[in-house]
Amino acid sequence: MAEEHVAPPVRRGLGGWLLIAMPYIWLLIFFLAPFLIVFKISLSQVAIAIPPYVPTFDLSEGWQAFADGLSELSLENYVWLTEDALYWRSYLSSVTIAAVSTFLTLLIGYPIAYAMARAPQALRPTLLMLVILPFWTSFLIRVYAWIGILKNEGLLNQLLLSLGLIDEPLVILNTNIAVYIGIVYSYLPFLVLPLYASLERLDGSLLEAAEDLGCPPWKAFWKITVPLSLPGIIAGCFLVFIPAVGEFVIPDLLGGSNTLMIGKTLWVEFFNNRDWPVSSAVAVILLLILVIPIVLFQNQQQKMSEKEG
Amino acid sequence: MPWENPDHPPFIEFRNVTKKFGDFTAVKNLSLKIYEKEFFALLGGSGCGKTTLMRMLAGFETPTSGQIFLDGQDLAGIPPYRRPSNMMFQSYALFPHMSVEKNIAFGLKQDKMPTSEVEARVAEMLQLTKLEQFAKRKPHQLSGGQRQRVALARSLAKRPKVLLLDEPLGALDRKLREETQFELMNLQEELKMTFLIVTHDQEEAMTVADRIAVMDKGELVQVATPAEIYEAPNCKFVADFIGDVNLIEAKVTEKTDALTRMTSVVDGFALECDQATDASVGETVWYAIRPEKVRIAEGNVEPGVVNHIGGVVWDIAYLGDVSIIHAKVGEDDHDTLRSTFANVSRIVEKPITWDDNVVLTFDRDAGVILRG
């Protein structure tokens, strides 16, 4: 009788509770508290002051002042975001650029991960090391290096010109193409690693069984390998898509003046316009845009594991 | 029996097949004929080349040299997905993301079989393997025995010309394995298909197979029926590998067409066998005799009587159904002969026990003479 086998209540000492509370305390201090502060600023009004918004809460002024401050908060900044086309166009453009780059990263990353997983056992740690190796150089320097490669008189154009493939330099730098190249290059390892992990676990005899049952290898790839590596594909795509949506450095350095991404919009709002409340509202909306697909994904995962369990 | 007729066309033929992996030769210039509707077993220890031989037939390995024929067709250059054989893998290799019925239907769908026929065949296979109630389950929701049956159903679904079974019962416990062996035999008779099984378990091979090929170091040592392999092994390796055996080193003293007389090299007792031998007088041979053919009784032996050996009980193993007695027949503690007998009644009046003087006897036709 399963019902009768209720586990006896576990007696936890203070240490036990502390251990369980640790991740929650961490999230509280480094995620929830900053988020609430940003959320509060997004409901404030811009002001010429330090800090540059009102109201500011100071509990020493008593509860009445606190209540007055609360009544001053409003959703005005969010309304403003819907009124200026710049904002929703930035969001849309960011999501599009991130989605296209994620797809391109998957196209390039899948063969790499597949080849690594099929490489001789002895070679795999080396290949893994090579994938991680770029992280040893600063991200900023690596993105700067692409300027040298992509600019009109850069390495790529010089190579193509000397090969006679083109007559005049290609304009790549300061276009969306350069942004795609930058994102794909920077985030490739984040897709390759989880994908490699799921492909490496794949039992080779499954492919032999498929072939034995009359399935040619290319078809077995779609019927066996891809479905079984789906968790790796999804995890990898999220790891690329989420940071790519909010990316600032790559569009700022490689993109042009007409490359619209939310990270840049936020920067301008915060540093150039010194409008902390609006930039906070931009950040809160960005968070919502990113949280929704993650929640959907988590739900999906849960359903899958329930179905299997 | 087809193998007794040299003109009978083989269904599967390995012709001078060699397979090398780098410096290692897994299969050495091997020739073998397997006939239609035969249940054939490849038996040998690990690394003897039996699995490589089967994988070459399935198309997963290419022979370094030699040819393989199936139903008259040379299989060279034909990829695994076009070969008319199906394999049941040792690990079962069930597709984890597909339900039981989808696993079984997988091969049929590759052949573009109409959906209604696929469904009918899947239902038939589920019934054959008693898996009807598990059709919608995923492999990880099944027990080991059920998974084994799914793997079997999947490999049988396409009605292959040959079913290849790679250690199919290795992961099952003893009881289930014995049951499944009989199910396999019945299935093979019912479907009238050619089965080729690879196993390291001699009991399994003896139970299911019509003929057994014993392999060692990439070569065939003996190809014969289970009874022949057991009763008339052609060398010391086979005699020792299959079942339990007493091997006595003996010198030929006298030989005729119907009789060979020998003397044990170590202890000097006389042996007589109704078998003719190629060995010349004075040559040393091995006399092999199964323990169940050695009778044991209390008493002392008269010296000089043929196939009568005196000994002292050294060790007794009571296994329930049978007892094994190790009788010391020489000076050395390890110089023993084994005798097995069935415990036909519950109570034995005066059982043979440790340090008893016993006589070991056997008939002229009980043992075989082996060279090398």
Across B128-132, average pLDDT: 92
Q: Please count the other Cβ atoms lying within 10 Å of the Cβ belonging to residue A172.
A: 19
Q: How confident is the model at residue B350 (pLDDT cuts 50, 70, 90)?
A: confident
pLDDT tens digit string along A126-143? 999 999 999 999 999 999
How far is Cα A160 from Cα A171, in angstroms, rounded to an integer? Answer: 12
Does residue A30 share a domain with residue A16? yes
Count Cβ atoms within 10 A of the Cβ of residue B183 and give its class: 0-12 exposed, 13-18 middle, 19 or more buried: middle
| Residue A128 sits in the same domain as residue A262 | yes
Specify the 3-state DSSP secondary structure of B151: helix
Residue A5: pLDDT band (50, 70, 90) is low
pLDDT of residue B6: 86
Residues B124 and B100 in one domain: yes
Q: Which of B239, B263, B278 is the last residue of a domain?
A: B239
Give the Cα separation of A260 and A252 in Å (integer).
10
pLDDT at B352: 86
Query: For A208, which residue in chain B has the nearest alpha carbon?
Result: B60
**What is the distance between the alpha carbons of residues A18 and B360, in angstroms, rounded to a whole number?**
76
On whether both B229 and B132 belong to a single domain, the answer is yes
Residues B301 and B326 in one domain: yes
Give the gap in angstroms from C-alpha B3 to the nearest C-alpha of chain A.
Answer: 29
Write down the mean pLDDT value for chain B: 92
A154 and A248 belong to one structural domain = yes
Residue A2's pLDDT is: 41
Interchain CB distance below 8 Å, A216 and B81: yes
Residues B231 and B298 in one domain: no
Under 8 Å between Cβ of B196 and B40 = yes
Nearest CA in chain B to A224: B95
pLDDT at A308 over 70: no
- Of A203-207, B265-269, B348-352, which range is least confident? B348-352
Residue that finishes a domain, picked among A11, A45, A74: A74
Domain end position, chosen among B239, B255, B287: B239
Measured at the CA of B223, the angle between CA B219 and CA B227, to 5 degrees, comes to 140
> Which of B239, B269, B300 corresponds to the end of one domain?
B239
Domain count along chain A: 2
Q: Among A277-291, B75-89, B304-318, which is the least confidently predicted range?
A: B304-318
- In tens, the pLDDT along B135-170 reads 999 999 999 999 999 999 999 999 999 999 999 998
Give A212-265 pLDDT, tens digit per residue: 999 999 999 999 999 999 989 999 999 999 999 999 999 999 998 888 899 999
Cβ-Cβ contacts under 8 Å, A228 against chain B: 96-97
Q: Does A203 contact B93 at a Cβ distance shorter than 8 Å?
A: yes
Q: Which domain holds residue A202?
A: 78-308
**Domain co-membership, B226 together with B264:** no
What's this model's pTM, rounded to 2 decimal places? 0.83
**Domain containing residue B306:** 244-370
Buried-exposed string B343-356: b where 16+ CB fall within 10 A, e elsewhere: eeeeeeeeebeeeb
Answer yes or no: do B26 and B175 share one domain: yes
DSSP-assigned letters across all residues of A241-285 = HHHHHT--HHHHHHS-TT---HHHHHHIIIIIS--HHHHHHHHHH
Instruction: Quote the number of domains for chain B.
Output: 2
Angle, helix B174-191 to helix B144-156, in steps of 10 degrees: 20
Residue A112 identity (one-letter amino acid) = I
Which chain B residue has its CA at the smallest distance from A213's CA?
Answer: B107
Task: Give the residues across from B75 on adjacent strands.
Answer: none
CATH of the domain at A180: 1.10.3720.10
Q: Which residues contact A277 (CB under 8 A, 6 or more apart)?
A: A41, A42, A43, A44, A45, A46, A53, A77
Distance between CA atoms of A246 and B265, rounded to whole angstroms? Answer: 89
> What is the nearest CA distance from A238 to chain B, expressed in angstroms?
22
Residues A20 and A126 in one domain: no
- Rounded Cα gap, residues A65 and A75, in angstroms: 20
Answer yes or no: do A215 and B140 touch at CB < 8 A: no
Which of B110, B90, B92 is CA-nearest to residue B100?
A: B92
Residues 6+ apart with CB under 8 A from B368: B231, B232, B233, B239, B273, B275, B287, B288, B289
Whether residue A109 is found in the same domain as residue A208: yes
Which element (helix H / strand E) includes B325?
strand B322-328
Residues A163 and A16 in one domain: no
* Closest C-alpha among B182, B199, B193 to residue B39: B193
Query: Hey, which residues 84-103 in chain B have their CB within 8 Å of chain A?
Result: 85-87, 89, 91, 93-97
Query: Which has the higher per-residue pLDDT, A67 or A4?
Result: A67
Same domain membership, residue A108 and residue A151: yes
